[in-house]
Structure 1
């Protein structure tokens, strides 16, 4: 079976000072265990060691976290989970089944047509947290939710359970169950996120299935499988009424990993009808190009696609299909190597950009947290099939720098996006009135920080993440304790706390690809370990009291953004460092900082090595900056990426900036009025009116759009002509078609179709003098062509023609 490339960050490890990148052995290279050890001398292992052909994670219940930032995140999340009310998540389930409601519905997305998704995630988070911590307050909640869903299902009478709602054409909001008889009749109205007036109902159910399965897996709740089977029967009836074309039309609406749900149900019941349906739920439009080895991800909604591949991977595990396996590997390779930012996340405004173009997409809307949540799941699957340290080089990068950054451990709240644009603060959820998808996946992510530290197969224990913890390795009757301040410090200590009987086993320690050297001690003496697939393989008869110390160098290095060597980020070991630009509750209106010099890396000086704090000396522009771990800057404004210039390049860049500054100053002098769309006070001052219109923010600029059937309008001061109306747009908008009207008269039809890649641009529309003659003000209106969107428009200016 073809194997994936071994190094997801290979292209990024080119150091600024010209050091060669650190490569890993190819998948088809020398046999595991035959590479020479890095240590020049030491104690030989007692027996040869080899990497097993597969691996499984040590059960989460066998791992307990010791004090660290990861344990802090778990505790903050546990407190939040216990503050939440199951009956409020159950509100719609009870209501639509005709049962008494027991709690007021939550706000945010839980009060929108996607309502009900939160219950599935909450059930998963409680189940994972129960396994991670053993907290006795959790299982009664899990059992209660499952029992209530069983009551709902009994009241419905046909297997159905659901909390999502449907918005009818007349605007009324009703039980979402109403759409399914229409769909079965072939009346299918499917768009990216809407199915017959419901917001992603199959995606919603995927989360409910997952919650039920997790309740069974982590707490032994057998009733959960019964509820899942009943719901599957209802959905199977719907799908049975559809031909292939109709089913593909349904799948055009985001459906999460509903294929995975049925694959997993087959794994638990061995009922082959669920396997057959899982294979049928194959979204051809997206999956066929990937199956053919084509990266056509640009402009696709990122998180919509990942669960489809997770489903393919699960199907391959249950019903081996090399095509499914290779499709999953290809997707993982493309995302991790060509679409990911330095923190491991991907996506801008939730969408993939073209491969190797992330340097042009460093904005305030990067890195939707759900994407990394799902990519880490995929990484676990691929590692389990064929263990290699490279998978966990990516996993660690993303887990540390994105997932930890996604939660504020002081409040337990979560971000949706993790902005990488310089100076943009992270925005966190509220306790009860958001429940975005990333809040819900965040409840899960921060309930399971111990789930991927240790993996096993036979007599081999992999240590993939260096997170302080204890593990009971039941296969070998042994327990280990891992203590470290990594990634702040490079020493990692592993002690054998107990072992049932002497037995030769292998401890496989991941040697990160960025580690140019290492030292390894066993009981205080140098140890010569074999190496294979990125691991140090320590095979010996372990006894209680044995101690291992792995020391890794945590040197600074620069990494270039994929596709653009001038855009650089600073790392120390696996940790991304970012410039601290001040507290998030204070405004930042400065320019994006840059780094300038012939030896930028050499210009950094240590401020506090134990806290990984450094400062640029002489290289920072407009001034030098203090750098700290990015993830830890929860309530700070930060800069992650920097344009790296030589002194002549910086001088040329400054000159171009001053020229543009002069142009804008001259334009301002001729302006009659300016409308800052998307900003509250200017919109009030200009009497903004709108329907089906929303403020937006992108790349530091506020704007507004109007969806099909809507509009927005506002008043501008004017005078006698000739006058020009200028509107600003983002150059990569696609399929936008709308009209601009002045006092009810159309003055322009605008079609935006990615004609100005990577930049904002201005379009000028001369205003007929008759429309302004003798007037003090005019009304400007933007309205879309039916089926399209107007804008977003990032500001409007009325100015005098030269």
Structure 2
């Protein structure tokens, strides 16, 4: 399967559109000179006796060894936005930046174009401590490649190709063992770069670089079924595996795919995840299924969320297994949405916005720490702008004779059957609220009708309507992802008639049919509260509602003493509806004081708790034994 081209998907989901707009605003708010400052300094194009006030701070500061990494992320995010919408303003800005990079490369002698000195890599080779130079340079390569592939900038490819000549000559100086020592320090995502450039140019030097950057000390244990990941830095290895995935796509060599699958098995299937879908504490992989001791203030680095979503997308395209789509949904709701571009009501003197939280704390009583727009520029700052660009990616996939609905968001999608018949799919969430009134301003139709109060409480199912429009009938298979979080069998209707009920979330549900203009498929997904325990402590868990993890608002750790065996019976709806919207709000029934729960992605500046230890009631037989 391949993702449906996002230029054929018209996104209509309000929250996703808001995020895209915020992301675009932020990309445009950063000046060209600010983004290029470290490149211009390294190329000798500017010389100043002091740092100007408008310089970018944090990891972009000229005093940081990672300086310049963000520009690569910026170019990639802008490229996706240009590809999706043809954004002329971002295109002009990107082209101007790339022309400046070309001049920097010429000033540096025609090959090097990094924002850091070449000697950083030589220092690594000599065993000296330098902070991740290949990580920094990989980001620039990535941005240039995306600008070429997605935005059509030919100069970007020329710059990347000339820069690769430097790496080809440099890496040739070392024996296999010496270069393995270098790779053990860090490699960034250079494997993916060489695979991309091999695909774009066909040049033999990229096959040499793929071979040199093969990290046998990590890959071979994975292939043997061992666990080299426990307590290992996560986001230095995920990009390497993304490189293996891309190398398989370009070369077809089976070993690359075998490594990729072995990594997923070791990192996810055998290791387990938090209820959010994410992993890690302090940027390292936890021990397998031992998460309790790793609930901390530095869980779920955003970079790992974004890069593992990319890996899940690749594996779904290879295998067609919806477990990867479930993983993406879980991580997007409780990672990307929970950690970037938060918007809500002002809280405790704080603004109603938050840009980025590098980590997502899961230790009780913690809070999110939001980064500034010009003073942080962590690695996650870069994946933030990439994750929120072109959010129609991954909603639909297509292969010969079939269309897969992977994620459910309001959208229109156009696709062709047999390369001829054009079909338009309109996917809409039924809010089932009976009103469009979104605020206290009564500026919309609010006529009296039966639908206004039906249903009277928040429905216990999610409903989506899929309507097909076409000029002639078309034969194809519709594949529907049935979410992993359903509470009962999903109901699937065709033109108002029930055609199936299914609890099977391990397969995509198929509908084979000669489709007619106006056909409507309706799906009902039963939704409700779930208590998701830690794998190593069944008495400690998180509350979830559908794909959303809930957070209890509390300054201190709380233990829940239950009156019933089922922990979800302790929570009841709270502030269920506001104007024309059903809200996801809950409160405890018997705790003193009570605790209010809202989706983790809606937490702004409050202190909160995700994982709760529960004390279940003692039954009469147990009391008698005592």
TM-score, normalized by the shorter chain, greater than 0.5: yes
Distance 2:460 2:134 in 1: 43
CA 485–189 in structure 1, closer or farther in 2 if over 3 Å, else same: farther
Shift of residue 318 of structure 1? 1.9
SS of equivalent residue, structure 2 residue 538: strand
Contact 2:222 2:266 in 1 (8 A): no
Which residue of the partner structure matches residue 156 of structure 1? Answer: 108
- Of residues 54, 68, 75, the one that matches 1:116 is 68
CA contact (8 A) 2:549 2:599 kept: yes
Which residue, 451, 454, 457 being the options, matches 2:399? 457
TM superposition shift of 1:500: 5.0
Deviations, residues 474-504 of structure 1 (Å, cap 9, x unaligned): 45522222211689960112222x4353221
CA gap of 1:429–1:308, structure 2 versus 1, over 3 A, is: same
1:64–1:132 contact (8 Å) kept in structure 2:
no
Corresponding residue of 2:571: 604
CA contact (8 A) 1:529 1:536 kept: no
Q: Contact 1:77/1:412 (CA < 8 Å) preserved in 2?
A: no
1:468 corresponds to which of 397, 410, 423: 410
Query: When you count helix as a share of all residues, which structure comes out higher?
Result: 2
The equivalent residue for 1:3 is none
Q: Deviations over 1:499-549 (max 9, x none)?
A: 353221122110123323111122222234998952121222334432221
Give 1:442 deviation, angstroms. 0.4
* Structure 1 residues 357 and 533: CA distance shift in structure 2, 3 A: closer
| 2:453 equivalent in structure 1 | none
Greater strand content: 1
Distance 1:485 1:323, change over 3 A: farther
Shift of 1:398: 0.6
Inter-partner Cα distance in structure 1 for 2:360 and 2:367: 9
Out of 399, 422, 436, the position equivalent to 2:378 is: 436
* Aligned equivalent of 2:246, options 295, 303, 314: 314
SS in structure 2 of the partner of residue 137 of structure 1: helix
Question: What SS is found at the alignment partner of 1:578?
Answer: strand
- Cα deviation digits, residues 416-465 of structure 1 (max 9, x gap): 00111122111111111110000111011011321111111112111111
Map 1:562-601; keep pairs closer than 5 Å: 562-581=535-554, 588=555, 590-597=556-563, 598-601=565-568
Instruction: Quote how far apart the aligned CAs of 1:232 are.
Output: 0.7
Query: For residues 384 and 67 of structure 1, do their structure 2 counterparts lie closer, same or farther at Cα, with a shift above 3 Å needed?
Result: closer
Q: Which of 100, 103, 125 does residue 188 from structure 1 map onto?
A: 125
Determine the C-alpha separation between the residues in 1 that align with 2:567 and 2:38. Answer: 57
Matches within 5 A, 1:644-793: 644-647=614-617
Residue 324 of structure 1, CA deviation: 2.6
Q: How many residues align?
A: 565
Secondary structure of 1:255's counterpart equals: coil
Distance (whole Å) between structure 2 residues aligned to residue 528 and residue 449 of structure 1:
31
User: Which residue in 2 is equivalent to 1:171?
Assistant: none
What is the rounded CA distance, in whole Å, between the counterparts of 1:72 and 1:101 in structure 2?
Answer: 40
Structure 1 gaps, min length 5: 1-54, 165-175, 191-195, 582-587, 650-802
Distance 1:532 1:361, change over 3 A: closer
Q: Over residues 705-762 of structure 1, what are the superposed CA-to-partner deviations in whole Å (9 max), with x where a residue is unaligned?
A: xxxxxxxxxxxxxxxxxxxxxxxxxxxxxxxxxxxxxxxxxxxxxxxxxxxxxxxxxx
Contact preservation (8 Å) 1:504, 1:542: yes
Residues 567-576 or 58-67, more deviating: 58-67
CA–CA distance in structure 1, aligned partners of residues 112 and 256 of structure 2: 30
Residue 748 of structure 1 corresponds to which residue in structure 2? none
Match for residue 624 of structure 2? none
Looking at structure 1, the residues matched to 561 and 584 of structure 2 have their Cα atoms a distance apart, in angstroms, of: 19
CA offsets 1:301-358 (integer angstroms, 9 cap, x no match): 1111111111111112222333332222122123223242111111111111211111
Secondary structure of 1:304's partner?
coil
2:317 to 377, 384, 391: 384
Equivalent residue runs for 1:56-67 within 5 Å: 56-67=2-13
CA distance in 2, matches of 1:123, 1:595: 52
Aligned to 2:438: none
Is 1:71 equivalent to 2:3 in the alignment?
Answer: no
Map of 1:625 onto structure 2 = 595
| Counterpart selection for 2:427 from 467, 472, 482 | 482
> Are the aligned partners of 2:134 and 2:190 in contact in 1 as well (CA < 8 Å)?
yes
The 1-side partners of 2:609 and 2:547 are apart by 17
Query: What TM-score do you get using the length of structure 1 for normalisation?
Result: 0.67
Q: What's 1:552 paired with?
A: 525
Within 2, Cα distance between the matches of 1:488 and 1:647?
27
What does residue 149 of structure 2 align with?
217
CA apart distance, 1:592: 3.5
Q: Does 1:527 align with 2:468?
A: no
| Distance 1:274-1:591 versus aligned 2 partners, 3 A rule | same
Within 5 Å, give how 1:324-343 maps onto structure 2.
Answer: 324-337=256-269, 338-343=271-276
Specify the SS of the correspondent of 1:491: strand
The answer to whether the 8 A contact 1:339-1:352 is kept is: no
Contact 1:158 1:234 in 2 (8 A): no
Equivalent in the alignment of 2:450: none
Partner of 1:422 in structure 2?
A: 364
